[in-house]
A = this chain, B = another copy of it.
């Protein structure tokens, strides 16, 4: 109960700060971001020192090189963080007046864009999420409660203390940005239960974390990131293009959510496509698991099980299935997809239309790679995650996703 109470009091502080933040002008919020960018840049040595502790602990715990690289902050990366904050300051203000409509009885209804209030984020090892999330929340007038992973706790403490100090110097309640320093499962559970104090909880990280939040949270949640993505090679596809897109979507960065996990191929082009795909993917030593037809074409492919088609590998593994027509491809995808991103390679406009209108995912690609599902690539300027749910926001989440609406109704004594 002690932990719960301390997190509750931290969230109450964030709630109070959120009221103050919601009253700040866009110019003042930008001023905060510019000051924070400056103090992060100036605090680079301090941050690197703190990050060293995380790196040493990580090495002692035998963490993989890939993870170590994600955790590591150096001068160049800190400059990158600082300039990313300045870019966020430059984005259009998501807060302010929207539509105004006047009713026959004379009521004037103003629909305003307002901050959500308190945004909480639970995330894992990457310390760059800390300043990034804080900046997006401040830009949109929200207070933020950050609960990063234990691997980055020393870096996170240092970064948040620099941000809070800067807020204070700018005359703003430092509780606008807080860090939950306890990184146990209990602290995450406590956040999930702060009804009335947290307006939205955004989990960012692996499947286990996201599932746990979605299933256990009693505060509003935006589900992010699960990506069992598909690429379908139609009978009319340009095979050159199909190979290029399949390699890009599977092999350019398999660990991310917009990478594909399954390739579906029309039987009439299966032999040519699969033979060439096996060659083109050879440098990546892909583990290929397929249906009986696939196995008969690709030497070294193993038989895929039902579980394979359900799995988001996030690795150099791909499952393949030869299908007899477009409808079977659509049916397979609607059965196994997590609703993230799917692509069709086709020269037939009607097949493209059927594919994009029949599949219930957030992003449907025609003749291009699923790897583009990303706020930056969509031109949103910033991204706080990729929503795979349908309510509130679907797909890459820009600053708008951190706002809600409020109606202000002006009258002169109207009654109903």
Residues of A at the B interface (CB closer than 8 Å) are 19, 22-23, 101, 103, 107, 109, 116-117, 199-200, 215, 218, 220, 222, 238, 241, 244-245, 248-249, 252, 334, 352, 356-358, 360-369, 371-373, 377-379, 389-392, 394-395, 404-416
Contact = CB atoms under 8 A, between A and B. Distances in A.
A371 B415 CA distance: 8
Nearest to A369: B415
Given A200-B390, A407-B395, A414 B107 contact: no
Given A366-B411, A410-B366, A404 B379 contact: no
A103 B373 CA distance: 13
Contacts of A394: 404-406
B408 A103 contact: no
Contact of A416 (B199, B371, B392, B410): B371
A363 B407 CA distance: 5
A414 B372 contact: yes
Nearest to A356: B408
Nearest to A249: B415
A218 to B, nearest CB: 6
Nearest to A389: B220
Given A22-B357, A368-B413, A369-B414, A116 B390 contact: yes
A245 B413 contact: yes
Closest 4 pairs (CB-CB, A-B): A368-B411, A248-B415, A390-B404, A371-B416
8 contacts: A107-B372, A215-B218, A248-B415, A366-B410, A367-B411, A367-B412, A369-B414, A372-B414
B406 A364 contact: yes
A78 to B, nearest CB: 26
Contact of A252 (B101, B249, B416): B416
A405 B238 CA distance: 29
A199 B339 CA distance: 12
Contact of A364 (B23, B392, B409): B409
Contacts of A103: 377-379
A248 to B, nearest CB: 4
Contacts of A410: 352, 365-368
A369 B390 CA distance: 34
A390 B114 CA distance: 10
Most B-side CB within 10 Å, residue of A220, A356, A409, A411: A409
Given A200-B391, A372-B107, A404-B391, A365 B409 contact: yes
Contacts of A404: 390-391, 394
Contacts of A412: 367-368
Contact of A391 (B392, B395, B409): B392
B362 A406 contact: yes
Contact of A199 (B23, B218, B356, B390): B390
A394 to B, nearest CB: 5
A364 B117 CA distance: 17
A406 B369 contact: no
A109 B411 contact: no
B109 A360 contact: no
Contacts of A252: 415-416
